[in-house]
A and B are shown apart, each in its own frame.
Chain A
């Protein structure tokens, strides 16, 4: 079946550290892939997306590359800020709806 697996959190980093949050998926074909972010007290919002294999999505200093060989879409940022503290969700659109990973909580300390 279709599924998304994310690395477990919470992840705690110091400001300006490098961030990687792993995401792998199971699906047939080459679906679009999304990263959503949920800041404290707010709704989910799209962070970035990739619509086909080998695409790189980027936004706000975050990047993710759609790698079909490893069925992965890992999220990276070179230098995190305190304001990046949030929960990050990898998502796969399938059958008219989004299938989410369990989320990875990121806490960035000054």
Chain B
């Protein structure tokens, strides 16, 4: 297993367009997380899945954001009608179920909205 994989690595889009990012977790990990990171800040939690079930979504997350994890394998994060404030690094991580277990991160997708 090569770790958590995210695609694309970079995305430039025009304001108002929709974008979709993909995350492939470590195969035996049943938890998958999405975070957003802006310059000079720590990763901010967006949502997480246990297998295919979305267990929590941040209250700060706009309705324009949606995430799926069909069949409990890869996950997609879609942002509709992008805004300049959506420009950030989007990080995916995966882990085993147990509380306090280490999460493994992908290299992220950098989104720039122009």
Complex Cα gap A6–B107 (Å): 23
Complex Cα gap A36–B37 (Å): 14
B100 near A96: Cβ-Cβ < 8 Å: no
Of A12-20, A42-50, A61-69, A72-80, the segment with at least 4 beta carbons within 8 Å of chain B is A42-50
CB-defined A-B contacts under 8 Å, sample of 5: A43-B106, A45-B105, A96-B55, A98-B45, A102-B41
Q: Is the interface of A mostly helix, strand, loop or mixed?
A: strand
- Among B44, B50, B108, residue most surrounded by chain A Cβ atoms (within 10 Å): B108
Complex Cα gap A31–B93 (Å): 20
Q: Shortest CB–CB separation between residue B69 and chain A, in angstroms?
A: 14
Complex Cα gap A49–B100 (Å): 10
Besides A49-B102, A102-B41, 11 new A-B residue pairs in contact (Cβ under 8 A), listed by A number: A31-B100, A43-B105, A43-B106, A44-B93, A46-B104, A89-B42, A93-B99, A98-B33, A98-B43, A103-B41, A103-B42
Q: Shortest CB–CB separation between residue A23 and chain B, in angstroms?
A: 11
Q: Shortest CB–CB separation between residue B43 and chain A, in angstroms?
A: 5
Residues of A within 8 A of B (CB): 4, 6, 31-32, 34, 36, 42-46, 49, 51, 89, 93, 95-103
Complex Cα gap A98–B110 (Å): 21
Given contacts A43-B91, A103-B40, contact A96 B105 (CB under 8 A): no
B100 contact from A6, A32, A89, Cβ within 8 A: A32
Q: Shortest CB–CB separation between residue B20 and chain A, in angstroms?
A: 20
Name the residue on B nearest A94 (C-beta): B99
Given contacts A89-B42, A103-B42, contact A96 B108 (CB under 8 A): no
Name the residue on B nearest A95 (C-beta): B56
Q: Shortest CB–CB separation between residue A2 and chain B, in angstroms?
A: 11
A46 contact from B33, B43, B102, B107, Cβ within 8 A: B102
Question: B12 at the A/B interface (Cβ < 8 Å)?
Answer: no
